[in-house]
Amino acid sequence: MEYHEKKHYYVVTIAGGLGSQMAKYAFYLLLNKKSKNTINMIDTYFYQYQEAWNGYELNRIFGIEAPDISKLYDADAPLVHDYFKKAAEFFIKEQPEEEIIRVSRGEYTYYNSSLASVKKIRDKVLFKLRYEYMTRFVTKKYGYINDRYKNNWYHLNANVYYDEFNYTSDKYFREIKDEIVNAFKFPNFTDEVNQFYKEKMLSEESVVLHVRRSDHMYDNGFLYEDNYYQKAVEYIKENVSNPVFYIFSDELEWCNNHIGELGLQESDKVFFVDWNHGMESFRDMQLMTYAKHNILAISSFSWWGYYLSKRTKKIVCAPKGFWLGVENNFY
């Protein structure tokens, strides 16, 4: 494919909580591998106007440094509560003659500038919009979007804004797994409690049981209706001798009061991980990586706790249809 003399910008938005940020950054790393004749950047503008969890965390936790398009914006300009629009304004200012493509949720959209001159950007950005779909994807009940980012989408002849990539699957990241694992190296534990449980989890048949509720009941609610956790725990008990369950959740009190709905009994060995809070919440994910087995929720936080584990032989249970590459699936 031929590129214009001026290199195009390929920008990956970073938004959401830690798990989502990691998924989007992993996609950025993949983009760097596949698209070498472009200016590849991330965009953290979302966190300038939106309070979300603990904010942007990749630098603070992992020391990640990446070119960030939001650092190139006019610092004195008023906040715009639309990170794509902000990036589009920058694209038009830098390369007014170039098309803009927004890739999002299995489709892409072209934007053509109808500005008579770059100067008008200061007052109003006008777009002539037309939609064009690369594919009509099919979604199943509680299913995943298939083939959200095709290979040719890494070589689009325009300034491209990759929005809402949150597809955690080994299908996308297999070829750069070593690079991803190296990027997401947690800092060592600095407290005795986490260090103690790290060693404990490594020495026994530890099982992470992740329960995501609160703000994600809209996509996790059916797990309780379909007895997913009960089926997963039963499978673990049938295949693991003396399992020890570690419950991670944003609603630990609910878990403690509904232990039966999770497939557990009073006689089971169960620990509730309740000591990592606030800016140290990422330590929960770090602890997850030391478990020998995993029961995942519909949560990228869950998935990274499994994916970053150094253990190659393990049982991983997941809601059917969500995490490609996970062997044991249940409804």
Dihedral sign from CA coordinates of 84, 86, 87, 89: positive
CA distance 166 to 149: 11
Per-residue pLDDT of the chain (331 residues; tens, 9 = 90+): 343 457 999 999 999 999 999 999 999 999 999 998 999 999 999 998 877 789 999 999 999 999 999 999 988 888 888 888 899 999 999 998 888 988 876 677 888 654 333 333 333 333 333 222 222 222 222 333 344 556 667 788 899 999 876 666 767 778 899 999 999 999 999 999 999 999 999 999 999 999 987 665 545 656 777 788 999 999 999 999 999 999 999 889 989 999 999 999 999 999 999 999 999 999 999 999 999 999 998 888 999 999 999 888 899 998 876 654 555 554 3
HEC secondary structure over 143-171 = CCCCCCCCHHHHCCCCEEEEECCCCCCHH
Fold of the 188-330 domain: Rossmann fold (3.40.50)
Would the pTM count as exceeding 0.95?
no
